Every structure is written in C-alpha cells, then in structure tokens.
C-alpha cells in the first residue's frame, strides 16, 4: 500500500514543489475561509435578529394602536406571513424557551426602541427568549392596556455558503494562486532542467556540447560557470589523453616495422612465422588500444542515421568476412528508422557485437524494436555456450577475456566489448549481456535513446 502511494507521488522536483506549495496554499485558504465563515455567521445572525426585531415592532405597533375588538382580526391576518405565530395572553408563554444571550437582547432591544412608536402605545416591558427545536425567537410585549403580545418568529439566518459568490470567490482565488505557484516553480526550476540537459549533451558529445549561459540569479550563474569550467577541463583531459596515445602509437609503430623487417631475414622459417605472428598480434593490439583511447564517439559529429540500414550493412559486411555463418545471420525489425547519432562510432560498436556473436556463437540474429516510448532496443543473439554469470559484467573491462588462451584467433584483444560499450554510452545508451534460457547462447541488448 505504501509503495502504491509512493508511485502516485511525482518524480519531478518541479511537480513535487508545486504540489507541496499548492497543498499548503489550500490549507491556508481553507483556514481563511473557515474564519471568514465564522465571522459571516455572526454577522448574518445580527442581521436576522434586527430584521425580526423590526418586523415584530411593526406588528406590535399595528396591534397596540388598534381597538381591542379589531386585534384578533389583525392577528389572524398577519399570522403566518413570515411563519410567525402571534398570540395575546395574560402572561408570556415561557414553556420550552430560554433567555436570549445578552448581545442578542441588546441588538433586539435597540432595534425596537429605534422604531417610531407613539409614547402612549409603547410596550411597558419586553421579554426576549428563544428555542432550539425549532430555532426561533420569542418576543413578548407587555401591552399598555392589557395582557402580553407574544410573537414567535423562526430564526433561520442565511448560511454564508448560500450567498452568491461565496464558492466562486474561493475557487477563483485558489485557481489564481495555483497558476502563480506553478508559474513560479517551473520558472525557478527551469535552470535545473537546463543543467540536466547540458550534462546529458556533454555525456553524449563532449566536443560539441554547447556551454551554459552564465547569467541569471547568482546561484544559477555560479553553477553555470562551474559546469562550463568542468566541461572545459574534461575536454582538455580527453584531448591530452588522445594526443598522448597517438604519440605512443606513432612511436611504437616504427620499432614494430623494424622488427618485422629484421624477422624477414631469419633463416629458420618456423621461428620467422612465430615472430611475425607475435608482431601482427602486437600491432593489432596497438591498433585496438589506439582506437579505444581516441574514442571516436567523442570527436565525430552527430547526424541523422538510418539505424535499420546501418544494422543490415553490418550484417552483410560480417557475412562477407565469415561466409560459413551467413545463413545464421539475419535482421528483424523496421525497414527504416532514423536516429541522430555518430555513424562511424555506432557502426564500429555494432560491428564488434555482431563479429563477437559470429566468432564465438556461429550466429548473429539482430532484432530492432522499441523498449519503451523513448528508448530503442537492439538484441543480438548467438548460438554459443554463453558466458559464466560472474563474468557477464566483467567482460566489458578493457583487455578482459573469457577465453584465456591469449590466442589472437580465438580470444581477440579483449577490447571489442569495451569499445562497443564506450561508443553506445557516448550516445546516452548502454549494453547488457545475458545468457539465453537453456544455455543456448548469449544475447547482447543495446539500448539507445530516441
């Protein structure tokens, strides 16, 4: 249950902040509305008490100024007009009533005294009481000549929520507050999204990622300056590393070439072949190391690439190299799929994966499909013996090989998967390896953002 509630909580910082502020604003609005409602209830009670006092004073004046024989007719005529009950009794009816609170008695007495009644007809006394069930006020006027005139009036103040504009005013204020909250939150968190996008671009294309604008509030400008400085240092580090590896590679090629020339003069043919094989392996390892160090994915520009055609091209080229496995190589997926990427780096990564599948698994079944709305998934399956579970992640380490013979024909240099993952991660994706069920081979899954 807790996990289900947590899933309803948004992951975005902007939405979390906005909803938290909106909830707080709603609580404040509710408290303010409650205070206003209580005040309005008190005000409506006062208005209703004054209206009842004025109406009862009018009825009293008409009855008091009328002759005794006409009073029953007036009572009959006026009774029920507002739900009032009027009676003439020797004493006031106190049954089921209670004295009204002092503030209410003061309001009613003031309203009655303010009403113009001739002096000779003014009531000699006024008794003010009330009842709860049903809610009513009971005003008893002592007549100047005889008895008590009692007027029972229903007490139904208008509730505040029934007044026009009560709910609409709350909704309008809440709506305006919500708009301002969301506008302010998303405006204030926009630099965070910009920083995240810049970091993503820097990870995909370290050479061509644009710098962040160093403007805005002090905190944002400071963060942008720090980010731009970091990006500049990373670029310089990559350039220095590439230059160092290129220089080493250039310097090593010369002695390797000299060794090859000297080996050609060896009279022992068997030894000559062994030396040449070792030098070829050393040269291949050097070339792979330089390719891994240069990291083509970091220097090549991104362009629109038809991923489906690229995969079919890799399969065709691998089939030309290993024609004996061509029947076990196929592509499944859409005919065309445009993706913005670095074609040389992407092709090198898939060539390494397909080449490994053919080399160690005698097959390469490539399937292109959607992993989710924003991610593509490319599965490369083979028919080999798989990889021990403990080695599935370690084989991505440079020079790490499951095959330990160090034979270049069977074990390779141990850089193919490292180069492939480096290139794919530079595109914002990743590679995972998994053994197929039943030990029927290995599947390499490549994830690329669209």
Flag the least confident range among 23-27, 47-51, 54-58, 372-376.
Answer: 372-376
Q: What is the pLDDT of residues 255-304, one digit of tens each?
A: 888 888 888 888 888 888 888 888 887 777 777 666 666 554 456 778 89
- Binning pLDDT at 50, 70 and 90, where does residue 330 land? very high
Q: Return the number of other C-beta atoms located less than 10 Å from residue 431's C-beta.
A: 21
Q: What is the pLDDT of residues 238-254, one digit of tens each?
A: 777 777 777 777 777 77
Q: Residues spanned by CATH 3.30.565.10 within the chain? A: 300-449
Judge whether 426 and 204 are in contact, CB under 8 Å. Answer: yes
- Binning pLDDT at 50, 70 and 90, where does residue 174 land? confident
Q: What is the pLDDT of residues 390-410, one digit of tens each?
A: 888 888 887 776 654 444 454
Predicted pLDDT at 193? 83
Predicted pLDDT at 2? 46
Dist. CA 46–CA 64, nearest whole Å:
26
**Which residue's entry shows tokens 């009862």?**
56
The CATH number of 300-449, from 3.90.1150.10, 3.30.565.10, 3.60.15.10, 3.40.190.10, is 3.30.565.10
User: Mean pLDDT across the chain, nearest whole number?
Assistant: 83
Which candidate, 342, 341, 343, places its Cα nearest to that of 310? Answer: 343
Judge whether 181 and 24 are in contact, CB under 8 Å. Answer: no
Predicted pLDDT at 299? 61
Dist. CA 9–CA 4, nearest whole Å:
9
Q: Residues spanned by CATH 3.30.450 within the chain? A: 13-162
Flag the least confident range among 31-45, 84-98, 104-118, 203-217.
Answer: 203-217
Dist. CA 4–CA 17, nearest whole Å:
20
For the chain, the farthest-separated pair of C-alpha atoms sits apart, in whole angstroms, at 156
**Which residue's entry shows tokens 């809610």?**
135
The correct answer on CATH 2.60.120.890 for the domain covering 205-294 is no
Q: Does 147 or 206 have the greater pLDDT score?
A: 147
Predicted pLDDT at 434? 92
Residue 63 in this model has a pLDDT that exceeds 80: yes
Give the list of residues 6+ apart from residue 380 with CB closer than 8 angstroms, or none.
350, 353, 354, 357, 364, 365, 366, 443, 444, 445, 446
Q: Residues spanned by CATH 1.10.287.130 within the chain? A: 205-294
Predicted pLDDT at 291? 66
Dist. CA 171–CA 386, nearest whole Å:
64
CB-neighbour burial class of residue 341 (10 A; exposed 0-12, middle 13-18, buried 19+): buried
Give the list of residues 6+ apart from residue 269 with CB closer than 8 angstroms, or none.
none
- Binning pLDDT at 50, 70 and 90, where does residue 413 land? low
Residue 7 in this model has a pLDDT that exceeds 70: no
Q: Return the number of other C-beta atoms located less than 10 Å from residue 415's C-beta.
A: 23
Q: What is the pLDDT of residues 136-167, one digit of tens each?
A: 999 999 998 878 999 998 998 888 877 777 77
The correct answer on CATH 1.20.5 for the domain covering 13-162 is no
- Both tokens of residue 367? 């399937």
Distances (CA, A) of 356 to 15, 311, 381, 440: 45, 15, 10, 16
The region, left, alpha or beta by phi > 0 then psi within -120 to 50, assigned to residue 439 is: left
Residue 235 in this model has a pLDDT that exceeds 60: yes
Predicted pLDDT at 295? 55
């Amino acid at each position: 249950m807790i996990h289900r509630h947590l899933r309803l909580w948004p992951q975005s910082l902007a939405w979390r902040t906005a909803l938290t502020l909106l909830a707080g604003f709603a609580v404040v609005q509710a408290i303010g509305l409650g205070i206003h409602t209580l005040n309005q209830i008190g005000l409506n009670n006062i208005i209703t008490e004054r209206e009842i006092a004025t109406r009862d004073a009018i009825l009293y004046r008409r009855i008091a100024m009328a002759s005794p024989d006409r009073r029953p007719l007036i009572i009959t005529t006026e009774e029920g007009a507002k739900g009032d009950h009027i009676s003439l009794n020797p004493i006031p009816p106190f049954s089921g009533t209670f004295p009204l609170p002092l503030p209410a008695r003061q309001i009613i007495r003031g309203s009655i005294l303010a009403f113009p009644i001739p002096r000779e007809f003014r009531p000699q006394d006024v008794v003010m009481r009330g009842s709860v069930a049903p809610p009513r006020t009971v005003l008893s006027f002592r007549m100047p000549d005889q008895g008590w005139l009692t007027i029972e009036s229903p007490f139904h103040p208008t509730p505040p929520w029934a007044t026009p504009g009560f709910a609409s005013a709350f909704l309008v204020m809440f709506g305006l507050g919500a708009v301002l909250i969301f506008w302010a939150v998303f405006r204030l968190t926009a630099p965070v999204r910009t920083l995240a996008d810049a970091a993503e671009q820097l990870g995909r294309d370290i050479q061509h990622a644009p710098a962040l604008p160093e403007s805005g509030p002090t905190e944002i400008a400071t963060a942008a300056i720090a980010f731009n400085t970091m990006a500049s240092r990373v670029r310089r580090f990559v350039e220095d590393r590439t230059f160092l590896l290129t220089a080493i590679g250039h310097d090593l090629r010369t002695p390797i070439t000299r060794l090859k020339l000297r080996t050609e003069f060896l009279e022992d043919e068997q030894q000559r072949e062994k030396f040449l094989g070792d030098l070829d392996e050393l040269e291949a390892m050097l070339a792979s190391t330089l390719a891994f160090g240069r990291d083509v994915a970091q220097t090549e520009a991104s362009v629109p690439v038809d991923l489906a055609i690229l995969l079919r091209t890799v399969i065709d080229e691998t089939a030309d190299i290993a024609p004996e496995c061509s029947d076990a190589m196929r592509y499944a997926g859409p005919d065309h799929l445009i993706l913005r990427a670095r074609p040389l780096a992407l092709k090198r990564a898939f060539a390494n994966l397909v080449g490994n599948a053919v080399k160690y698994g005698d097959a390469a079944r490539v399937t292109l499909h959607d992993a989710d709305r924003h991610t593509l998934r490319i599965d490369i399956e083979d028919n080999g013996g798989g990889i021990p579970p403990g080695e599935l992640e370690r084989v991505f380490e440079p020079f790490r090989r499951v095959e330990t013979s160090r034979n270049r024909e069977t074990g390779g240099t141990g850089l193919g998967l490292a180069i492939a993952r480096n290139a794919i991660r530079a595109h914002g994706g990743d590679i995972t390896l998994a053994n197929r069920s039943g030990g029927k081979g290995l599947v390499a899954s490549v994830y690329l953002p669209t």
